[in-house]
Each structure stands twice: as structure tokens, then as C-alpha cells.
Amino acid sequence: MGKYQRLALLAFVLFAFTLALFKASGWRVQYGFRVPVPPAEQAVAQAKVAEQPLRKKNRHRSRRAEAPIALTGRFETHFASSKLHTQTHAASLVELKDGRVRALWFSGSREGASDVTINSAVFDPVRNVWGAEQVVAGRDSTQRALHRYIAKVGNPVATRAADGTLWLFYVTVSLGGWAGSSISMMTSNDDGASWSAPRRLVSSPFINISTLVKGAPFLYADGTMGLPVYHEFVSKFAEILRLDKTGKVIDKQRLAAGGQGTLQPVVLVQSEKEALVFTRYSGNDAERRVVSIATGDGGRHWSKPAKSSLKNPDAALTALVLPDGKLLAVLNDQEWGRDSLSLQMSADGGGTWHELHRLEEMSGLRNKVMDEQTCVRLVESLARTSDGKLEKAAGPQLTGHVDSARARVNADGGCAFEFSYPYMIQTHNGDIHVVYTWNRTFIKHLVFDRAWLQHRLKEHQS
């Protein structure tokens, strides 16, 4: 190669790397969290609630009928999804600007099928009803927009970005099972009534596969977003993707090494500098416990994963920080199976936990032999208590729900219940909403207020 050609190449090298350094110099990652705004004290709203008579409709079976609502608080349950004879899973929630709550989940003939779509519905807390179910995205629409082959879609998680827009992350798979997942994202300027075309987040050098989302995103102090994600291919570990205000990936932090079985991280921001992460445990240890990881410097460094006192049957959990610093979690409090669901609280930053309420309990039936009719009656009873609309329903409305659920519960001739993948948020009026997979057939929604929580806490303490 001649002298001038060498000089030309040298000039090109210097130009390219100067440009790269210039770009990198404007790319600062700052640490420190944005602490969620605590729910507004709504004295007027609380007073109104206190004046209301106890409503029998939608009343949870655990509430004492004779107690006034002001003492026991509000605890109601509904089905958020309405489609019959489909499989539903992996719901998430986001509060809308007008105080309503939007849920998103995936739904189709079976998990991983090509007909699975990301569906959504909105809960109106004033009318106390869920709206109609709508399709937000599917395999075909995602494939067209991303200009690449897509085999299936999964886990959706929605959140509000620093600029007020809604961001929706969901899993797409082109090759293989869930371990071959990538994350796509869409945005909405009208609180989810319409969504932008999806675009792909690139988060791995290995064909960009095996990054999945499940836990609620959080904000850093500079307005960038932390997206808790996890990796499943070859080994399992939790990570945090950091996105700038336009949704571009600007950093990725590994929370645990492979082999430690940390999946589906849930990040709990406690202060500007402190946060806790809880993860599903998917390892081989006999003692199956939720794994916890902590930071005290705004997310710059994270502690080594440690087992918490919470049991975990290799299943997702959800948790949040209450304004008084207590932690609230919903999880399957068992080492095997997903046939019970528990609401737990910790007053010491996750060191110890106690159960406030058993939300679902069917673990006693696990190894029992049961004929089909008895199982169907159980399903019917459970469906009635799960949604006020079904409490006194008869005929096709109830039959449709029971038949849908029976197809799953009674699938292998047994009577196996599943309550899994909980997701919890606290809205600005202080209410806490939980959604979870109900027998893979419906998305069940719970809403309770602070009065109910206080009541449960007092009962526990007494």
C-alpha cells in the first residue's frame, strides 16, 4: 500500500474515532433514583367512603359483613379480562392521568401460540367496572412494524415515562422458546388509546436474544428509565436496562451472575440512593427463596444476591414501597406449585415478612383425588367470589366462565389451580391494585384501600 493510501487510512481512523469519542462524551450515566410521589392524602374522599353503606356487591368473602366499611376498608375483586376460552397470562398495570387504571396482558389459544395478542382494558374506579378488552399488538402487526420475522409475543409491561407518555414494553420471539426473546417498545400520547409502531431494543450481542421483561420500570433522578429485565438462555440472571428519554438503551447492568437463578427482578425504590431488588428464584437449591439484591448508592453498585425469608416456587412476585417505608409483596408463599397467593408486608426493609391476607388458597387440594363434578363446583364457587358480576349470575354468563376455567383446572383429569404472575401498583389516591393470572383463564384484579390495609395490619398485630 502506498504512502498516500496509508495517510488516507490514518485520516479515516482518526476521523472515525474522534467522532465516536465526541458522541460518547455527551453520553453521561448518572446514578440516583427518582422517588415515586406518595399518594395524596384524600381526606374528603375518605370521608365519603366512611359515609357509604357496606355494599354487598363485589364484597370479598373475607370481609366481616357486620363491620362498617370505614373500619374494614374497601377490598374488591373483578376479572379484568373478559374473553372466554382463551389462555391469559402476565398482566401489568399502569395508572392513567384521569385516575383510571389500564391493565395489559397476553391472550391467545395457548401461551406461545402465534395467535397470542397483547390485550388491554381500563378499570374505572368511579363506576367500579372494567371496560371492553382491546388488542394492542400481535404477532403480525409487530412483524410488519419491526421488519423481521416474529413467531410470538408475550409479557407486556406498561409504565409512565418522565415526559408523561406511556411506554409499553413487550416480549417478542423469533426463534425458539421464551429464552429466545427480545424486547420491543411502543409509546402512547393518549394514555393507551392508541400506540406508536413498535421498535426493537437491542440488549444482547448474541443475536439480541434472551432479554425478557416482567417487573415494573422505575425512573432515575435524571429522568432516564430503569427497566428490570432478565436473561434465560444458557443461564438465568437479572439485569437492568437503562433507557434515555427517547427510549434508546444507554446502559445495562448485571445484577447477578448466571447460575444464581435470578429471574424477573422487581425493583423497589426506597430513597434517592437506596433500592431493593427481589427476584424469582429459578435455581437448583433445595431451599427455594426469593433472592434480594440492594444498592445504597443510587444504583451504581449492587450487593451480591442473597436469599430472603420469602418462599418462592420458581414463580414471579410483585412488590412495592408504601409511603411510610413498609414493603408490600404479593407472591406464591410456597416452595412448590402456584396454587395459593399471599399478600405480605415487611416493616423492616425486607428483613422479615408477615402475611396480611391469603388472597387465594387451593394448595390443600393439590394431591387430593377429586371427581370432575366436584372440581367444576369448586371452579364455579371460585369464579363467583372472584367477580361481583358473577356472584349471582346464572346461565350462559357463568357457564362460559366456568367452562373456560375448567378447561385449564381440570385439563389433566385432576383439579389443579394456578394463581400466578402478580403485578401491583399504588395509585395516587392511595388505592392498591393487584392483577394476576387466574388459572391461566382470566386476569383477576384486586383493589383495596389504605383503610383495608390498616385494618389487616391491626388484625395481624392483635
Partner 1 sequence: MMSFTDWTGLSGLALVWVLLALRLPVAAHLTDLKRALFVAAAYCVVMLPLFGLSLAGFLRGMVGDLSITSILLLCAALFTRLRLLSCGAADAVWDARNRYSLLLFLSVIALLLHPFALGIGPLDPYRSGFAGIAFILALALLALWAMRRNLMLLPLALSLAALAWSLGWYESTNLWDYLIDAPLSIYALAATGKLLLLNARRGKRA
Binding status of residue 127 toward partner 1 by CB under 8 A: no
Which of 38, 99, 259, 396 is close enough to bind partner 1 by CB under 8 A?
Answer: 259
How far apart CA 400 and CA 121 sit, in angstroms, is 19
Which of 67, 162, 202, 306 is close enough to bind partner 1 by CB under 8 A?
Answer: 202
Binding status of residue 135 toward partner 1 by CB under 8 A: no
Which of 150, 219, 291, 409 is close enough to bind partner 1 by CB under 8 A?
Answer: 150
| All cell numbers assigned to 434 | 393487584
Contacts of 443 (CB under 8 A, 6+ apart): 79, 80, 81, 88, 91, 103, 105, 435, 436, 437
- β-pairing verdict for 340-346 and 442-448: unpaired
Nearest Cα residue to 236 out of 254, 267, 260, 255: 260
Binding mask 157-176 for partner 1 (x = CB under 8 A): -----------------xx-
Binding mask 181-200 for partner 1 (x = CB under 8 A): ------------------xx
In the complex with partner 1, which residue's Cβ is closer, 83 or 242? 242
25-44 positions binding partner 1, by CB under 8 A: 25, 27, 29
Which of 3, 21, 367, 461 is close enough to bind partner 1 by CB under 8 A?
Answer: 21
How far apart CA 288 and CA 209 sit, in angstroms, is 27
Q: How far is the CB of 233 from partner 1 (least distance, A)?
A: 7
Q: How far is the CB of 214 from partner 1 (least distance, A)?
A: 18
Do 272 and 35 meet the contact criterion of CB atoms below 8 Å apart? yes
Q: How many residues does the chain have?
A: 462
Binding status of residue 55 toward partner 1 by CB under 8 A: no
Q: What is the DSSP letter of 57?
A: T
Do 58 and 75 meet the contact criterion of CB atoms below 8 Å apart? no
Binding status of residue 254 toward partner 1 by CB under 8 A: yes
How many Å separate Cα 72 from the centre of its chain? 27
How far apart CA 125 and CA 353 sit, in angstroms, is 30
Which of 160, 252, 307, 428 is close enough to bind partner 1 by CB under 8 A?
Answer: 252
Residues that bind partner 1 (CB under 8 A): 1-2, 5-6, 9-10, 12-13, 15-17, 19-25, 27, 29, 140, 143-144, 146-151, 174-175, 199-200, 202, 204-208, 231, 233-237, 248-254, 256-259
